[in-house]
Chains A and B, each alone.
Chain A
Amino acid sequence: MKKIRFIIVAAFLMLFHTLGNAQAIGDAFIVNAAPQGGYTQSVLNIVLTDTVNVSSIIVKVGSLDGSQDLFSYTFTFDQSGGFSNGVGYSRSGYKVSCPLGNLVETAVYFTEVTSVNSSGALSPAFKFVSN
């Protein structure tokens, strides 16, 4: 009985450990080109704190807090192709560069970046607002 209890506790702890292990986003910022025709070419730069056990990166960009009306995409980690509309992905070490294509020009961009590990656990969202 004690053995079973131990196994259950151990399994729970392992599961908890895995779920809680999505790598935090160290930094992220957007660089916008000069707007043309109401659109701006944007590149999101992300700095990861680690590259181990990162399965995907969720990016949301909105014109209002909490919205994703400008851009929403889940980048598979080290995805090499399959993008459209100017979207892209490249990584050098901990630095990830993601062209987001043409975003609608707006006064303020609310961005949220989250990493997902192989178990589907999410990192804390890295949020910033930029202009």
Chain B
Amino acid sequence: MKVSLKYTVLFIFLFANFNLFATKYTWTGNSSTAWTTSNNWSPVGVPNTTDSVKIVTRTNAPVLGANTTVKELDLTSGSISLSGYSLTVSNNAYFYAGTISNGTLVLRGSNAIFNGSTLNVTIDAIVARVDFSGGVFNYQSSFEQTGTSTTNGAGGCTFNAPITIKKSGAAYLTMGVSSADIFNSTLKVINTATYAIQLGYNTVASFYDSLIFENSSSSGISIGGGNANGGGHIYNGKKIAIGTGGFTAGLLTLKNFVQTGTGQQTFVTTGSAITSLAGCSFEGDLTITSPGILLKTSTFNGTTEFIRSSTSSSYSDGGNVFNGSTTFRNNATNTASFRLGVQTGDQYNGNVSFITTTGYIQPAYSGTSEFKGNVSMSSSLVVFNVGTGKLLCTGTSNQTFSTSGSLTYLVSKFAVNKSSGTVTFNAPITIDSLLELTSGNIITSSTNLLTLKAVATVSGGSLSSFVTGPIKKIGNTSFKFPVGKGVDYRPVTISAPSILTDAFTAEYFNSAQTNGSTKDTSINYISDCNYWNVTKTTGSSNVALTFNWYKSSCDVFDIDSTKLARWNGTK
């Protein structure tokens, strides 16, 4: 019986406590603005650390007189003044409307839901879920999501002070699902757990100050990761940077991201991180250093450099436009490839350099990649013939193809379509399948020879476009060498050699031949107008030659007495 009484007392005590725990107070302000005055609440009483409070608009708005803790806060309307004190919410905090000012808001527990309030306070939030679905944040604040439930913030938030958003829980933290977020001050984003932090998910987030990323998660951080309307815009030359915590894993994904304003943008990711840009635009200079780099349908207007290092290959989709001077470096310690234009060709409107020592760089993999400036490469590991892509020169100025040391350009398809200027090879070039001559001349030399493999063909070739210098053709098919000099297009055709590996080289000169003056008795006079140099470079095949020539170009008046002669070594 004694025992039963003891338990009854305990039950009553617990029940009383439970009632106390469950009390939900609503602000009335019937008596004054003092938070701790009982008559200002309904039911009458003062909320303690286990209570929930709801604030609504009343004549007297609540004012804190000391540091205060409640379990739940529901700011539905009206305002709260913290008077320089802190208000701690230990479980759920809901900010639907109204204003909270002048102090520090400490949020812990399950939820911090921002849905329209104006927050003129410093916020220190470490909660399971942070939902950014509206609100104005006017003071420096930090938010950490620790839980494992996905948060889809609708967006519509304006951040007017430096903000840190961190995710340490294994769940998505998504922002900007249906309305755009605006960041008027620095934003620092930190992800340390699986699943990504996703900004500007379906809407375009605006960044008017620096954007700092830190990530150790296998997932990473993205901007514009949702539908086609998602993205971001950083204005006024403000910087994207990697914080002191580094970006050591996962993906840094920027989709439909626009950077405006001049100034150097530099971000470095390490470890196993991949940087992926799709549909982006950078106005300023940009240097990205990342183990993996992927580029797709993006535009780069400044001086740009991409430095990758992963031992797994990076294959970029393509469709990019590089308007400034651009450098691609592959610092892989193995033969991993930095492949470009895998599905769609890229456009290089400035000079471009490809630099590597161990890994491959494979530009112009597929489609047509357009080059308008000079091209240089540092290694034989830079190859343009792994895929079926075409390298098209369209610059209006003279263009050069150069190398460090004695290297050969290996190209699948090479095309020239320039309204003005020439293309000069300061290195040998070997073409696998197609040489396309539409407009503009190619300049080669015996050192920097243009070689066409056996299966390669020539398309075009005319007064508007030919090769000034020697061309070497390998193979056992008849071939028309599209050679000329100056303004003269003077092709020469060979009949089919008998052996596949045989090779002939041809060049046209619009000047006097230099072999000698000794001539056959049937020849009265050797023209100093022009000549061809056609040589059997490899093999023993004999071929017939057909020359294209215009009598008017050498002031020949009597075509019947004109002879085509061959230098036989002595005359």
Interface, chain A (partner B; CB < 8 A): 27, 29-32, 64-66, 107-108, 127-131
Contact = CB atoms under 8 A, between A and B. Distances in A.
B532 to A, nearest CB: 40
A31 B315 CA distance: 11
Most B CB within 10 A of own CB, among A29, A65, A108, A131: A131
Instruction: Name the 8 nearest CB pairs between A and B, nearest first.
Output: A128-B313, A130-B315, A131-B294, A127-B312, A107-B253, A131-B296, A131-B317, A108-B276
B32 interface: no
Contacts of B313: 127-129
B386 interface: yes
Given A64-B250, A65-B272, A129 B343 contact: no
B278 A131 contact: yes
A128 B276 contact: no
Interface string B296-316: 100000000000001011111
B222 interface: yes
A28 B328 CA distance: 22
B251 A108 contact: yes
B315 A129 contact: yes
Interface in B239-259: 249-251, 253, 255
A129 B225 contact: no
A21 B308 CA distance: 31
A108 B337 CA distance: 16
Contact of A108 (B272, B274, B343): B274
Contacts of A64: 218-219, 250-251
A130 B294 contact: yes
B427 interface: no
B40 to A, nearest CB: 52
Interface residues of B, number: 29
Contacts of B314: 128-130
A27 B253 CA distance: 25
A129 B278 contact: no
Contact of A129 (B218, B219, B292): B292
Contacts of B312: 127-129
B342 interface: yes
Nearest to B292: A129
Interface string B276-292: 10100000000000001
Contacts of B317: 32, 130-131
B501 to A, nearest CB: 21
B222 to A, nearest CB: 7
Interface of B: 218-219, 222, 225, 249-251, 253, 255, 272, 274, 276, 278, 292, 294-296, 310, 312-317, 337, 339, 342-343, 386
A38 to B, nearest CB: 9
Contacts of A108: 251, 253, 274, 276, 294
B365 to A, nearest CB: 8
Nearest to A30: B315
A107 B225 contact: yes
Nearest to B295: A131
Given A127-B313, A128-B313, A131-B316, A27 B386 contact: yes
A64 B310 CA distance: 15
A129 B312 CA distance: 7
Contacts of B337: 128
Given A27-B386, A32-B343, A131-B294, 20 more contacts: A29-B342, A30-B315, A64-B219, A65-B250, A65-B274, A66-B218, A107-B222, A107-B253, A108-B251, A108-B253, A108-B294, A128-B313, A128-B314, A129-B310, A129-B312, A129-B313, A130-B315, A130-B316, A131-B276, A131-B317
Nearest to B219: A64
B559 to A, nearest CB: 53
A31 to B, nearest CB: 6
Contacts of B253: 107-108
Nearest to B250: A64
Nearest to A67: B218
Contacts of A107: 222, 225, 251, 253, 255, 276, 278
A10 B118 CA distance: 80
Contacts of A128: 312-315, 337
Contacts of B315: 29-30, 128-131
A64 B313 CA distance: 15
Nearest to B254: A107
Contacts of B272: 65
Nearest to B195: A64
A111 to B, nearest CB: 9
Contacts of A27: 386
A7 B218 CA distance: 49
B294 A129 contact: yes
B193 to A, nearest CB: 13
7 contacts: A30-B315, A32-B343, A64-B218, A65-B272, A107-B278, A127-B312, A130-B317
Nearest to B228: A35
B270 to A, nearest CB: 14
Contacts of A130: 294, 314-317, 342
A131 B320 CA distance: 13
Contacts of B294: 108, 129-131
Nearest to B387: A29
A27 to B, nearest CB: 7
A128 B251 CA distance: 14
B550 to A, nearest CB: 47
Contact of B274 (A29, A30, A129): A129
Contacts of B274: 65, 108, 129
Nearest to A131: B294
Nearest to A125: B312
Contacts of B225: 107
A65 B218 contact: yes
